[in-house]
Structure 1
Amino acid sequence: MRKPGSIKALEDLGRVRLSKSFFMRDFLYSEIANWHGIPNVPDDPGLAIAAGRKLCEELLEPLQDTFGRIAVRSAYRSCEVNGFGNANKLNCASNEANYAGHIWDRCNAAGCMGATACIVIPWFADRYEAGTPWQAMAWWIHDHLPYSELCFFPKLAAFNITWHETPARTIYSYAEPKGWLTKPGMPNHEGMRSGIRDFTL
């Protein structure tokens, strides 16, 4: 599939179904792109679709099946949108750091594909506001899903979730307590988390 060069072609891209619940259009919205008038359109739609399907089928669908509706905050970013966000300090890492992350249509330096979405799970956001720690969701995902990276934020218990061909299996947080929850080599990385993992609808 070529990069869309018309409204119709962009509409066709948006209609591509990534999984039972998600379409490509769900992941193309960007406040940066909207506000600054920068098209958020993949240069390589085929790669973006392939990576997005893995993200949806292996991570987002199981989360939605378990915890209810997922709200997508930020997902795919074109190189132009992400580069602008990085240059203007709008909470975007460099393009190179975001290849196979928010930039779905570029492989990383190792030639691997991946995809990131920042999501809110309303069911969990309510429980987080009532005092449930963000670590509860983090450990549930760690114990049940083939994620690569998780990064949690204070507002609405939002978090980045990444699918990657070579998963790193790391969890970091900007919500208190900040820092690494787990990563390979830490004593808590292996095994199930009894008592914290089994919260579901």
Structure 2
Amino acid sequence: MKKPQTVAKLGELGRVQLSRTFYMRDFLYSDIASIHGLSNIPDDPELAIAAGTRLCEDLLEPLQDAFGRIAIRSAYRSAEVNALGHAKGYNCASNEANLAGHIWDKRDFKGNMGATACIVVPDFANRFTAEGDWKRIAWWVHDHLPYADMEFFPVRWAFNLTWHEVPKKRVYSHVPDARGYLTKPGMANHEGSHESEWAGILP
């Protein structure tokens, strides 16, 4: 599939079903693109579809099955959109850092594919609002799903959830008073069950 150049072809791409409940169109909206008049369309749709399928089937569907509807905040970004977001300080990492991350349609420098979506889990965010509650869902995902990276933010516990061919299994926080790694390989808390941290969060 080539990069869409017409409304009809973009519609065709948007109708690609990545998993049981997610379609490619769900991931193409960008606030940056909308405000700055850019198109947020993959240069390599086939690679974006392949990476997005793994993100949806391996991570988003099981998370949604457990907690109910997931809200997509930001997902696929074209290299052009991401570069502008980085240049203007819109909390976008550089293109080099976002290959096989938010930039689904370009492999990283080691040739691996990956995909990131920034999501909110409304049921969880509505029920768990105390300081530090974000750790509960972080540990649940860590114990149950084959994620590559998670990156948490303070507003409604939004987090970047990444699927990657070579997962690092790292959880990082931008939450005030808790900035830094919650866990990563080599930390004493990385292995084993963390049920005591997430017990009782399922709806």
Give the structure-2-normalised TM-score.
Answer: 0.97
Instruction: Tell me if structure 2 keeps the 8 A contact 1:143–1:197.
Output: no
Residue identity in the other structure for 2:49 = I
| Per-residue deviation, 1:131 | 5.5
Identify which range, 168-177 or 157-166, moves more after superposition: 168-177
Q: For the residues of structure 1 that align with 2:80 and 2:39, how far apart are their CA atoms?
A: 8
Residue segments in structure 2 that go unaligned for 5+ positions in a row:
none
With over 3 angstroms needed to count, the CA separation of the structure-2 counterparts of 1:132 and 1:188, relative to structure 1, is closer
- 2:171 aligned residue: 171
Q: For the residues of structure 2 that align with 1:3 and 1:103, how far apart are their CA atoms?
A: 15
Q: For the residues of structure 2 that align with 1:106 and 1:182, how far apart are their CA atoms?
A: 27
- 2:14 aligned residue: 14
Q: Secondary structure at the match of 1:108?
A: coil
| Per-residue deviation, 1:196 | 1.9
Instruction: Tell me if structure 1 keeps the 8 A contact 2:148–2:166.
Output: yes
Residue segments in structure 1 that go unaligned for 5+ positions in a row:
none
- 1:33 aligned residue: 33
With over 3 angstroms needed to count, the CA separation of the structure-2 counterparts of 1:96 and 1:131, relative to structure 1, is closer
RMSD: 1.0
- 1:48 aligned residue: 48
| Per-residue deviation, 1:127 | 2.0
- 2:189 aligned residue: 188
What does 1:1-201 correspond to in 2, within 5 Å?
1-130=1-130, 133-175=133-175, 176-198=177-199, 199-201=201-203
Instruction: Tell me if structure 2 keeps the 8 A contact 1:27–1:75.
Output: yes
Q: Deviations over 1:4-33 (max 9, x none)?
A: 010100000000000001000000000000
| Per-residue deviation, 1:129 | 2.0
Instruction: Tell me if structure 1 keeps the 8 A contact 2:140–2:195.
Output: no
| Per-residue deviation, 1:130 | 5.0
Q: For the residues of structure 2 that align with 1:150 and 1:186, how far apart are their CA atoms?
A: 16
Q: Secondary structure at the match of 2:161?
A: strand
**Equivalent residue pairs, number:** 201
Residue identity in the other structure for 1:83 = A
| Per-residue deviation, 1:179 | 1.1
| Per-residue deviation, 1:197 | 2.6
Q: For the residues of structure 2 that align with 1:76 and 1:29, how far apart are their CA atoms?
A: 8
Q: For the residues of structure 1 that align with 2:14 and 2:26, how far apart are their CA atoms?
A: 8
Q: For the residues of structure 2 that align with 1:196 and 1:180, how far apart are their CA atoms?
A: 16
Percent identity, aligned pairs only? 60
After TM superposition, the runs of 4+ consecutive aligned structure 1 residues lying more than 3 A away are: none
Instruction: Tell me if structure 2 keeps the 8 A contact 1:113–1:165.
Output: yes
Instruction: Tell me if structure 2 keeps the 8 A contact 1:55–1:162.
Output: yes
| Per-residue deviation, 1:128 | 2.6
